[in-house]
Chains A and B, each alone.
Chain A
Amino acid sequence: MSDDKDEVKKHTIEIPEITRVEGHSAVQIEIANGKVQNVMLDVFEGTRFFEKIVLGHNYEEIPHITSRVCAICSTGHVLAAAFAIEKIFGIECDELTTIFRRVMHLGMFIESHSTHIYALALPDFVGATDLLDFASRFKDEFSNWTQLRNLGTQIQSVIGGRPFHPVNLHVGGLSSIPGKDKLASLITQLEAARPLALDTCQLLMRFKPPIERTSEPVFMALIPVDGKYGYFGNKILSSHGFMADVSEYKQYLNEKAVWYSHAKRSSIEGASLFVGAMARLYLFNDILKGEASNIYTSSPLAKGDHNSIWNNLAQSIEIVQAIDECIELLRVLLERYQDAKAVNKSNLKMKPGAAVGAVECPRGTLYHFYELNNEGQIVAADMVTPSAQNTARIEMDIKETVEQFADYESADLQKSLETLVRAYDPCNTCATHMVSVSYT
Chain B
Amino acid sequence: MKSDGTLPKIAVHGLTGCAGELLVILENLGTVLPYVQVASFPFAQSKNDIKDVDIAFVEGSVSQEHDIEVLNKIRSHSKWLVAVGNCAVHGCVQSSTCAKFTPQEMVESVYGKDSAIKALEAKPLSSYVEVDVSLSGCPIDKNQFLAVLASLLKDHLPYIIERPVCLECKMRENGCVLIEKNLPCLGPVTAAGCGALCPSFDAACYGCFGPCKDPQLDAMTLILQEKGYNLSDVLVRLGTFGIPEAVLSNLDVRR
Contact = CB atoms under 8 A, between A and B. Distances in A.
Direct chain A–B contact by Cβ atoms under 8 Å: yes
B216 interface: no
A47 B63 contact: yes
B97 A53 contact: yes
A58 B117 contact: no
Contacts of B190: none
B159 interface: no
B233 A165 contact: no
A44 B65 CA distance: 10
Contacts of B116: 439
Range class of the B interface residue count:
35 or more
Nearest to A65: B93
A432 interface: yes
B103 to A, nearest CB: 8
A57 interface: yes
B202 A58 contact: no
Contacts of B15: 46
B97 A130 contact: no
Interface in B18-49: 18-20, 22-23, 26-27, 29-30, 33, 38, 41-48
A435 B119 CA distance: 12
A306 B93 CA distance: 39
B45 A58 contact: no
A175 interface: yes
A24 B110 contact: no
Contacts of B17: 429
A269 to B, nearest CB: 27
A342 B177 CA distance: 14
A436 B116 CA distance: 9
Nearest to B111: A436
Contacts of A45: 16
Interface in A263-302: none
A19 B30 contact: no
Contacts of A133: 45
Bin chain A's interface residue count.
35 or more
B221 interface: no
B117 A68 contact: no
A377 to B, nearest CB: 7
B63 A46 contact: yes
Interface in B61-99: 61-64, 66-67, 92-94, 96-97
Given A56-B236, A65-B240, A161-B201, A47 B64 contact: yes
A167 B46 contact: no
B45 A70 contact: no
B203 interface: yes
Contact of B30 (A50, A56, A146, A170): A146
Interface in B94-117: 94, 96-97, 100-101, 105-107, 109-112, 115-117
B58 interface: no
B122 interface: yes
B87 to A, nearest CB: 8
B14 interface: yes
A61 B208 CA distance: 11
Given A68-B18, A146-B30, A167-B203, A46 B197 contact: no
Interface string A128-166: 011111010000000000100100010000000111110
A65 B240 CA distance: 8
Contact of B16 (A46, A56, A161): A46
B93 to A, nearest CB: 5
B231 to A, nearest CB: 12
Contacts of B63: 46-48
30 contacts: A19-B42, A22-B43, A44-B64, A46-B61, A52-B109, A53-B94, A56-B100, A57-B236, A58-B233, A65-B93, A65-B240, A68-B138, A71-B22, A119-B26, A119-B44, A130-B47, A132-B45, A135-B33, A149-B27, A161-B198, A162-B197, A164-B23, A167-B203, A168-B201, A174-B201, A175-B201, A429-B18, A429-B19, A432-B110, A433-B110
